[in-house]
Amino acid sequence: MTNEQIVLSRIQAESVLEAHRAGEAWATVSLDLGLTTAEAAIESNGIRLPDGQALTWKQLGKIAKSKRGCFVIENNRPRKIQSFSKAANRLYSLMPTTGAPTMLLSGVAMHRIKGIDPHRDTLRKIETITPIVGRVLDTATGLGYTTIEAARTAEQVTTIEIEPAALEVARLNPWSRALFENPNITQIVGDSFDEIETFEEETFARIIHDPPAFALGGDLYSSAFYHQLFRVLQRGGRLFHYIGDLESKSGRTVARGAIRRLREAGFSRVARRPGAFGLVVYK
């Protein structure tokens, strides 16, 4: 399956409806959630997309009403991008923003979207450990944004995702395409807690650790896992550990415990990076 399908959210549907209201014959619209634009012909019943598919005004109206959904267009029909994980009993879905979409895990956004968008959120995380060089480990693939950004300069990036459902959503996300196309990226489907034991000592020059919130991903904040992070990171290497808002009560509490356990695991220095909602950890 390719991930070059046409994907629309309310933002694109609204712009087409606007062009229709204005009596235009063509609508300039993005078919990949804002990455590029294309032309769609406005017809009496709806629009004709460049690949020949058609959408009715009713279907476009439905997309325009959906605040939290993105839709892949298949056989002249919009299908909401979502995937249910039986194992985790959670629904993964793609939610639009005015920039890169985020993934919702049972309704909770996996990237920062208040006052910032997922792309800038990603850059802030990555900037804490630049230059990104050598081999990189990303312990939580998600939509692959941190992996994709790291792979721009790294020699190679290994990225681990526990949930096939998350990867199904990523596969339909135009902003995640490089995750499936960049030959410098190696994907592993598995639990980082177990997979990390399979790497040799000092394999990675950089590690990106962007787990779900503490309440959902406890193991990935444990002493045992931090010892493994220390073992696989090269001397002189750096790790970014996402925590959440360090100025919030819960962020402060989680950070305090994480810093203590990271030091116990052997890391020489742990620095707070409030702008990136996380910690930079040095070996």
Ligand X SMILES: C[S@@+](CC[C@H](N)C(=O)[O-])C[C@H]1O[C@@H](n2cnc3c(N)ncnc32)[C@H](O)[C@@H]1O
List residues near ligand X by CB under 6 A. Answer: 110, 122, 140, 142-146, 160-163, 166, 191-193, 210-212, 217, 220
Least separation in angstroms between residue 17's CB and ligand X is 30
Asked if 195 and 186 count as a contact pair (C-beta separation under 8 A), the reply is no
Shortest spacing between CB 164 and ligand X, in angstroms: 10
Which tokens in the block code for residue 196? 């990390």
Question: Between residues 5 and 83, which has the closer beta carbon with respect to ligand X?
Answer: 83
Question: Is the bond preceding 174 in cis, omega lying within 30 degrees of 0?
Answer: no
Q: CB-wise, 42 or 246, nearer to ligand X? A: 246
**Minimum distance between the CB of residue 259 and ligand X, rounded to whole angstroms?**
20
User: Tokens in use for 237?
Assistant: 């290497």
Instruction: Decide whether 32 or 163 has the Cβ nearer to ligand X.
Output: 163
| Cβ burial, residue 212 (10 Å; 0-12/13-18/19+) | middle
Name the minimum Å distance from CB 262 to ligand X: 18
Both structure tokens of 26: 């063509």
Between 64 and 95, whose beta carbon lies closer to ligand X? Answer: 95
H-type alpha helices, 53-138 = 57-65, 118-127
CA distance 81 to 72: 6
Q: Locate tokens 């639009």: which residue?
A: 96
Q: How far is the CB of 59 from ligand X (least distance, A)?
A: 29
| Packed helices 10-21 and 57-65: angle between N→C axes, nearest 10 degrees | 130
Q: What's the Cα-to-Cα distance from 53 to each of 32, 41, 73, 78, rounded to whole Å?
A: 15, 11, 8, 11
Minimum distance of ligand X from residue 144's CB (angstroms): 6
Q: Which is nearer to ligand X, 17 or 246 (CB)?
A: 246
